[in-house]
Amino acid sequence: MNWLQIGSAVFVGAMLIYIFPRMRHAMKNSPKGTTQDWMGFIIPIIAIVLFVALLIMSVR
Amino acid sequence: MYQNQSAVTRTSSSVLATNKVLKNTYLLLSMTLIFSAIMAYVGIISGASQGGAMIASFGAIGLLWFVLPRTANSAAGIPVLFAITGMLGYGLGPMLSYYLAMSNGPQLIMTALGGTGIIFLGLSGYALTTKKDFSFMAGFLMVGIFVVFAAMLANIFLQIPALSLAMSAAIIMLMAGFILYQTSDIIRGGETNYINAAASLFISLLNMFTSLLHLLGALGGDD
């Protein structure tokens, strides 16, 4: 294990420690979405997945 | 009658304030993206090492966590944001040099850059035209980011290529969610500070670009 890996591990570990309380706060306080709300998120995500697949095929 | 007029005046002033935040956010975002691209170029031509890139990224995260929250409500926030984006741009130097050394490297980088731009424009347009409230996604996005970082930490030691690709795909989808969430937050008046808004969108775009480049390099690269 080189020092770059150790540095990366410290960096990602610090991110986890920073995110954890914010994640708990967001989980407790964010409103619950309806099925319609989630569809409004899933549809653009499907479009992005297809677009990324197209980009991958274009560079092959 | 007077009540109705007052409500209309309040609504139109709130819409004007939201439009001003949005305009300033996009203006600052475009300037920081240009500055970051210049610093990435500096990183490439100066032959920045991986260690140097890591130190620049550490510095940028330190400024983002500890300095920007204290300066975002004053004019000092703008140079801090430029310092953050400049260091993150410089930190991209070694990664871009690696891809440029591949025979189709420039094509991969331009495809990832264009793809990120198109996704950002599409998502921003979607959030702006539908005016949907994406605040319900906050918990889901934070859990998603936490899981990805935990997997990233594990993969530093495990070195599984398939896990690395799965994380890149997950990051693209999570950053798309963050762009929708952040844009809807600005439109609905939740985020009124354009420096914070530009910083959040910049981080989402940077993560999306690097993840897309990783996917294109692994699945479409010829080396």
| Prediction ipTM score | 0.90
Q: How many residues does chain B have?
A: 223
Query: What's the rounded mean pLDDT across residues A28-55?
Result: 93
Listed as own residue / partner, the contacts of B100-104 with beta carbons closer than 8 Å and 24 or more positions apart are B100/B44, B102/B217, B102/B221, B102/B222, B102/B223, B103/B222, B103/B223, B104/A59, B104/B220, B104/B221, B104/B222
Minimal CA separation from A29 to chain B, in Å: 8
Query: What's the rounded mean pLDDT across residues B9-17?
Result: 66
Please answer yes or no on whether A4 and B111 come within 8 Å at the CB atom. no
The CA distance from B212 to B146, in Å, is: 20
Nearest to A48 among B136, B152, B172 (CB): B172
Mutate to test the interface with A, among B135, B212, B213 (most CBs of A within 10 A): B135
Residue B29 pLDDT? 96
Count of CB atoms situated within 10 Å of the CB of B28: 22
When the pLDDT of each residue in chain A is averaged and rounded to a whole number, the result is 90
Contact status, residue B176 vs residue B119, Cβ threshold 8 Å: yes
Nearest to A40 among B65, B130, B220 (CB): B130
pLDDT, tens digit, 9 for 90 and up, residues B145-167: 999 999 999 999 888 999 999 99
Is A48 near chain B, with CB under 8 Å? Answer: yes
Residue B12 pLDDT? 65
Q: How many degrees, rounded to 5, is the angle at CA A29 between CA B12 and CA B131?
A: 30
Residues of B in contact with A21 (CB under 8 A): none
Residues of A in contact with B151 (CB under 8 A): none
Contact status, residue B135 vs residue B184, Cβ threshold 8 Å: yes
Which residue in the block uniquely carries the two structure tokens 């390099």?
B217
pLDDT, tens digit, 9 for 90 and up, residues B107-130: 999 999 999 999 999 999 999 999
- A19: which 2 tokens? 């995110």
Name residues whose C-beta falls within 8 Å of residue A60's C-beta, 6 or more positions apart in sequence.
B219, B220
pLDDT, tens digit, 9 for 90 and up, residues B173-191: 999 999 999 999 999 888 8
Nearest to A48 among B119, B136, B142 (CB): B119
pLDDT, tens digit, 9 for 90 and up, residues B14-56: 677 778 899 999 999 999 999 999 999 999 999 888 888 989 9
Residue B7 pLDDT? 56
Is B108 near chain A, with CB under 8 Å? Answer: yes
Crossing angle of helices B2-45 and B77-91, in 10° steps, is 40
